[in-house]
Amino acid sequence: MVDRQIIARGITDTAVLDAMLTVPRHLFVSEALIDSAYMDYPLPIGEGQTISQPYIIAEMTQALQLKKEHRVLEIGTGSGYQAAILAQIVSRVYTVERNNNLFMRTRKLFDTLKYHNVIAKYSDGTIGWKSESPFDAIMVTAGGEKIPQPLIDQLETGGKLIMPVGGLMFQELLLLEKRQSGTSITNLGGCRFVKLIGQHGWKD
């Protein structure tokens, strides 16, 4: 998976490559899908949600230019795979999930796999996690019409936020950088994610 899908497409950050070599992706999908766990496409994880294609995970993670000491907020815990990748690279990952079944299942998995630096919360992630802010980086793994303002507010100056932004069927992956002088946005290209649902997202 890492050679053919990730390195071949130009991902060079060794921390990202090491994390993807380390985290056993098949433990984050249902038993019925184990044979497809390392394939080059997204997979269903129950509750109408999906785990992203491995390359997208690598691209989003690399874009945040993470450092060991960083504290990162992820919105949309889902299967927990993306949070597990982040947890290999940074000191602490805060992850929020709005679907209670996924939240319960994945929190148990983090315990079983001993991801002690992942802190999971059942909540609407579009309002962020104010008490733990500011974050060095924020990754939103569901698509919305715009970047929720509370997330921009809870990002450290100098920090980066990545999120799929656009319509229901198709979005652009936007990388926001917050600087003293203001924010800048880079468009990393088209993508397709499930809906970000919440106060600052789509209606349920």
Q: How far is the CB of 66 from ligand SAH (least distance, A)?
A: 16
Shortest Å distance, C-beta 28 to ligand SAH: 7
Q: Which residue is nearest to ligand SAH (CB)?
A: 78
- Catalytic residue (choose from 52, 123, 181, 184): 52
Q: Indicate whether 194 belongs to the interface with ligand SAH (CB under 6 A).
A: yes
Please tell me whether residue 88 binds ligand SAH under the rule CB under 6 A. no
Amino acid symbol at 18: D
37 belongs to the binding site for ligand SAH (CB under 6 A): no
Among 70, 71, 98, 105, binds ligand SAH (CB under 6 A): 98
Distance CA 194, CA 166 (A): 11
Q: Is 52 a catalytic residue?
A: yes
Nearest distance in Å: CB 142, ligand SAH: 4
Is 76 among the residues that bind ligand SAH (CB under 6 A)? Answer: yes
Does residue number 105 form part of the binding site for ligand SAH (CB under 6 A)? no
User: Does residue 120 belong to the site contacting ligand SAH (CB under 6 A)?
Assistant: no
Instruction: Report the 3 state secondary structure along the chain.
Output: CHHHHHHCCCCCCHHHHHHHHHCCHHHHCCHHHHHHCCCCCCEEEECCEEECCHHHHHHHHHHCCCCCCCEEEEECCCCCHHHHHHHHHCCEEEEEECCHHHHHHHHHHHHHCCCCCEEEEECCHHHCCHHHCCEEEEEECCEECCCCHHHHHCEEEEEEEEEEEECCCCEEEEEEEEECCEEEEEEEEEECCCECECCCCECC
The reply on whether position 124 binds ligand SAH by CB under 6 A is yes
**Which positions lie near ligand SAH, rule CB under 6 A?**
45, 49-51, 75-76, 78-79, 81-82, 96-99, 102, 124-126, 141-142, 194, 196-198, 201
Active site residues: 52
